[in-house]
Chain A
Amino acid sequence: MKNDLILQTITKVAVFIILLFSISIFLGGHYSPGGGFVGGLMTSAAIVLLLLAYDLKTVANILPVDYKLVIGAGLLIAALTVAGAMLFNVPMMTHAYNYFDLPILGKTSLHTAVLFDLGVYLVVVGVTMTIIQTIGEDE
C-alpha cells in the first residue's frame, strides 16, 4: 500500500471548494455562465476526486447514494415542473417567477426554472457517477 497522505489531505479541502463552486455555478445559471449541466458535472468531478484519493468502498460509505435513483429523481423533478404548469391552465413548460421577502436573504427572486434546472443537475450527477462507478467496479 502506498501512502497517499498528501493527496488525501488536499482532497479533503479541495472537494469542498469544488462543491461550493459547483453549487454557485448551478444557482447563478440564470444570470451568469453556468447552470444545471455544468454544475452537475462539477459536482461529479468533486466525487471523482474523492474516488481517486480513496477507494470505491470508502466513498460508498461516505456517500451512501444509489446514483440510478438520483437519475430517476432528477427526471421526475424535471417532468413534474414541465407538467405542473398545466395545473394552472397554462401550456406546459410555462415558468413563473416573483420577488419575495425572505428572512436572512431579503428580497429574492424565486423562479420555477430553477426547479427544472435542479432536475437537470441531478440527472447529470447521476449519469456521470453511474457510468464511472459501473466501469470502475468492472473487472
Chain B
Amino acid sequence: MTSLHWAVFAPFILAIFVPLLYKWFRGIHTGWFILFLPVLLFTYFANFISVTMQGQSVTKSAAWIPSLKIEVDFYVDGLSLLFSLLITGIGALVILYSIFYLSKDKEKLNQFYVYLLLFMGAMLGVVLSDNLIVLYMFWEFTSVSSFLLIGYWNEREKSRYGALKSMIITVLGGLSMLGGFTLLYFMGETFSIRTLVSQSGNLFEHSLFIPALLLILLGAFTKSAQFPFHIWLPDAMEAPTPVSAYLHSATMVKAGIYLVARLSPIFAESGVWLWLVSAVGLLTLFWGSFSAIKQTDLKGILAYSTVSQLGLIMSLLGLGAAALHYENLDDNIFMAATVAAIFHLINHATFKGSLFMAAGIIDHETGTRDIRRLGGLMPFMPITFTITVIGGFSMAGLPPFNGFLSKEMFFTSMVNVLQLDIFNLETWGLLFPVIAWVASIFTFIYSMILVFKTFTGKAQLEKLERKPHEAPIGMLISPVILASLVIIFGIFPNLLSATLIEPAVSSIQPALADHDFHVHIAFWHGWTTELKMTLGVVLIGGILYITLAKWKGIYDLLPSRLSLNGLYDGTLSVIDKGTSLLSEKVMTGSIRRYLIYIFLFFFVVLGISLFQKDAFQLDTNNLAPIGIFELILAAAMVIGSISILFAKSRLTSIIILGAVGYTVSLFFVLFRAPDLALTQLVIETISVALFLLCFYHLPKLSSRKEERMTFKLNNALVSIGVGTVVTLIALSAHSQKLFDSISSFYLENAYKEAGGKNVVNVILVDFRGLDTMFEITVLAIAALGIFAMIRLRLTRRNDQP
C-alpha cells in the first residue's frame, strides 16, 4: 500500500465512519466532516502536475491476486491526473454545495454521504487503475453507487424508475465491457493497459480485435450516454441536484470518455474505431441538442445538453485517432482534435457543473424547475442569474468564455476532416462539419432558452410555491468558483495547456512526438473559417430563438410512442410478458406434462446420440437358445402388461399387475435365481396388498367414475418412442461386451474367502455389504416416513384449530 493506494481507498474508509459521525454529531451537518477529504485529495493530486508536465508517469503496485495476474496497479499520467483533479475538485465543490442544499433535519444524510464517497472512490479507481479487471471492478462500483444516488429519494416512483433504468443500461454495457477486456487478455496475455498498448501492433492483426473493440465501445457508450443509450440520463435527473451536478455532468458520464481516450492507443489503428466513435459522437451531439429544445424542465434541458456535449467530446476523440495514420506529416492537424476533446472536457465540467448548481438553486428557492412557470427571476436572484449567463453563454460557445475556444477548436477539427483520405472519409467527410454546425445552432438555442426563459420576461409569482429570493451564500460559493473558472480558462487558456492538456494528449497519443501541438493551443486568434461558422451559429441561432414559438410545432410531429424511451419501456414489458407467458406455458403445474418433457428429452437425447455416434449394433452370436417355458412366460407378461392398459376397473389393473409380478418371479425361478424369486414373491404380495388398501380408500365421487384410460396420441407416441430407444440400447449394449464378466471371481472365492456357499448372499453381506447397509437405511427411512405422514397430519390439525 503506497500513498496513491491510500488516496484511492480513503473515500471508502471514510464512508465506513460516516454513519458514526452522523449519529454522534447530530447538531453539525455531516457534510462538513466529509468536505476535507476531497480538498486533501485535490492538493495531493495537484502535486503530480510537476511530474506529468515533464512527460513522466508514476506507477504504484500492490498485489491482489498475483496468480491470475490481477494486481492493484495505479498509474498516474496526464490523462488520469486530469480526471483525478476533476473528480476531487468538483467533488469538493459539490459536497460544499450539498451542505446547504440538503437539510440536515429532513434528509438521510448518512446514506447520502456514504453513497457519494463510495462513488468518489470508485471513480478515482476507474481513472487510476492500470489493470483492466480492477478497472472493471471500480467501473461497476460507480454503476452501483450511482444507482443508489439516483434512487436517493426512494419513496418517489420516478426516482426508482430512473435508478433502475440507469442500472440496467450501464450494467448491460459494463458486462459487455468485461467481455471485451477478457478478449484483450486472450490477445495480449496481460491485463495491464500499458503492456497492451506496447503490443498494440500485434493486437491489430488478431482475429478477436474487432469483437473486443465493439464490446468495449458498447461499455463506453452506455456509460457516457451516447446514442441510443442516452435515455437513462434524463431520467437520472430525479436524483438530488448535487448528484446530478457531480455524476451526470462532470464525472461518471465521462468514465466512458476516459475509457475511449485510455484505450485509443490500442484501437485507434482500426478504421472501425474511428468511424464508430466519431459517427456515434456526432449523432449523439445532434440528437441531444435537438431534443434539449423541447424540454420544459431545467434539469431536462441540462441532461440532454450533457448528452450532446458528451457526443461532441466523443466525436473529437474519434477523429483524434486519425492522427495515428499521418505520422509523417510535418503539421499534424488531426492532433488538434484530441486537444480540443481534452479542452472541452475540462470546460464542460466547469460550466455544466455551475449550470446544474444554478438550476438546483432555482428549484430550491422557487419550488419548481418548469420553465413555463419560471420567468423574470433576474431581480430576485442576481447572482444566480450571472452564473447562469456565464455558464449558458459558455455552453453556447460565445466569447470570451472557455466554451468559445473549445467550440472553435471543434470546428477546426471538423473542417479538417475534409482533408482526410482514409476509410472512405473523402466521400462522407463533408457530413461532419455540416452536422456539427447544425448541432451547434441547436446548442445555441437551448442555451438561450435556459438563460432568458428563466430570468427575463414577466415574473409569474402566483404560480410559484414560495416567493423567490437569492440563495444563501454557502450555496453560491461552488457555482461562483466554477463560473470564475469558466472566465479564467476563457481568457487565459494557456494556464491549462502546458499543465494539464499536453500531458493528457500525450498519454492518448503516446506514439507521436509532442513538439507539434504546443502551437495549436496557443493559436486561438485569426480570421478563419471557424470564426465565420460561429458567426453563422449566432446569427441563425438568434433568429431561430426569436421565432421559436412558430416552429416549435415540429416536435409534435414526432410520434411520442416511437421514441427511444418507448422502445426501452416496450422492450422491458415484452421481456416481462414474454417470460411470464413462457413460464405459464411450460410450467403448467401438471405432472403429466413434466413427465412428457422428461421422457421426450430422454428419447431425443438418447436416440440422437445412439445414431449420431453410430453406436447401434446387433450381434446374434452370443445369444442363448430360447426354450418353450421362456416363450410362454414372455407371452404371459406381454399380454398382462397390455391388458392393464385396457382394463376398465382399477381392481382388474391391480390384479393383473400382481400377475405380472408373479410371472417375473417365475422368470427368476427359470433363470435359476432362488433368492430373487423368494423375495419377489413376498414383495409382490405386499405391494399388491398396499395397492388394494390405497384404492379401497379413494373417495367415491361422481367425477371418480371408473373409466377406461382415454387414448392420447402424444402419450402413445412418447411411450412407444421411449420403449424403442431402451430396447435398441439394451440390444446394442448386449452385442458389444468389451470385457469378461467379473462374476467368475465371486464363484471361485465365495467359499474360499468368505466361508459361504450361497454366492448371492455372500455378495450381499460380505463382498458388497456396504450397499446392503444403505439399502436397509432406505427401508428404515421409508417406514418412518409412512409413520410420520399418517400420524402427524400437520395440515389437517392446522385446519381445525
Using a CB–CB cutoff of 8 Å, the interface residues on chain A facing chain B are: 29-38, 41-42, 45, 68, 71-72, 74-75, 78-79, 82, 93, 95, 97, 109, 111, 113, 116-117, 119-120, 123-124, 126-128, 130-131, 134-135, 138
Are A30 and B679 closer than 8 Å at their CB atoms? no
Can you give 14 contacting A-B residue pairs, CB < 8 Å? A29-B761, A33-B675, A34-B758, A35-B761, A38-B678, A75-B777, A79-B773, A95-B754, A111-B755, A124-B776, A126-B783, A130-B784, A131-B783, A134-B791
**Binary contact readout B754-783 vs A (1 if CB under 8 angstroms, 0 otherwise):** 111110111011100110110011011011
Are B780 and A33 closer than 8 Å at their CB atoms? no
Are B755 and A109 closer than 8 Å at their CB atoms? yes
Are B756 and A30 closer than 8 Å at their CB atoms? yes
Are B686 and A128 closer than 8 Å at their CB atoms? yes
List, in ascending order, chain B residues with CB within 8 A of A71's CB.
780, 783-784
Size band of the interface chain B makes with A:
35 or more
Are A75 and B754 closer than 8 Å at their CB atoms? no
Q: Chain A: interface secondary structure?
A: helix
Are A113 and B780 closer than 8 Å at their CB atoms? no
Within 8 A of A (CB), among B658-705: 674-675, 678-679, 682-683, 686, 690, 693
Are B758 and A35 closer than 8 Å at their CB atoms? yes
Report the Cα distance A120→B683, complex, angstroms: 16
Are A30 and B762 closer than 8 Å at their CB atoms? yes
**Binary contact readout B733-768 vs A (1 if CB under 8 angstroms, 0 otherwise):** 000000000000000000000111110111011100
List, in ascending order, chain B residues with CB within 8 A of A124's CB.
776, 779
Q: Does B787 contact A (CB under 8 A)?
A: yes
List, in ascending order, chain A residues with CB within 8 A of B757's CB.
30-32
Are A32 and B758 closer than 8 Å at their CB atoms? yes
Are A30 and B777 closer than 8 Å at their CB atoms? no
Q: Chain B: interface secondary structure?
A: helix
Are B786 and A131 closer than 8 Å at their CB atoms? yes
Report the Cα distance A89→B130, complex, angstroms: 59
Q: Does B790 contact A (CB under 8 A)?
A: yes
Are B675 and A30 closer than 8 Å at their CB atoms? no
Report the Cα distance A136→B757, complex, angstroms: 40
Report the Cα distance A77→B766, complex, angstroms: 15
Report the Cα distance A36→B761, complex, angstroms: 9
Contacts A34-B675, A35-B761; is A93 near B779 (CB within 8 Å)? no
Are A127 and B769 closer than 8 Å at their CB atoms? no
Report the Cα distance A7→B548, complex, angstroms: 110
Contacts A38-B675, A71-B784; is A134 near B776 (CB within 8 Å)? no
Report the Cα distance A59→B124, complex, angstroms: 83
Contacts A123-B779, A135-B693; is A130 near B786 (CB within 8 Å)? yes
Contacts A33-B674, A134-B787; is A93 near B758 (CB within 8 Å)? no
List, in ascending order, chain B residues with CB within 8 A of A119's CB.
776
Report the Cα distance A117→B769, complex, angstroms: 10
Closest residue on chain B to residue A36 by CB atoms: B765
Q: From residue A93, how far is it (CB to closest CB) to chain B in Å?
A: 5
List, in ascending order, chain B residues with CB within 8 A of A42's CB.
682
Are A82 and B773 closer than 8 Å at their CB atoms? yes
